Amino acid sequence: MASVAEIAARHKTELRDAIADLLPANAAAPGIAWAATLALDGAIMNAQTGAASIDAALQGLNDLLDALNQSHAAMTRD
């Protein structure tokens, strides 16, 4: 039987791959997908533990994704 850590690691890899599939293909996509995965995981944990409201957790995730996208756009401008 797989350990909790193995299941969690596999889940994060699957989530990263699913997010990467949603992004435009470019060299930064894997890094953006991994950052988004960790942010999503943190937002879920935050909401589940009552540290912040679900709305606050989702807003934080949205803010991070916006920043990642803006950063990537700035790096790829000619």
Angular region, 61: left φ>0, alpha ψ -120 to 50, beta rest: alpha
Residue 43's pLDDT is what?
A: 78
- Pick the closest to residue 40 from 51, 54, 27 (CA basis): 54
Residue 13's pLDDT is what?
A: 93
**Chain segment 20-71, per-residue pLDDT in tens:** 888 877 777 888 889 889 888 887 887 778 766 777 777 877 888 788 777 7
Give long-range contacts, CB 8 A cutoff, 24+ apart: 3-12: 12/37, 12/38, 12/41
What's 78's DSSP letter?
A: -
Decide if 61 contacts 43 (C-beta within 8 A): yes
- Report yes or no on whether pTM surpasses 0.75: no
77 compared with 32, residue with greater pLDDT: 32
In this prediction, residues 2-16 reach a mean pLDDT of 90
9 compared with 42, residue with greater pLDDT: 9
Domain of residue 69 covers 4-76
Alpha carbons 19 and 36: distance in angstroms, whole number: 8
Total count of domains within the chain: 1
48 compared with 8, residue with greater pLDDT: 8
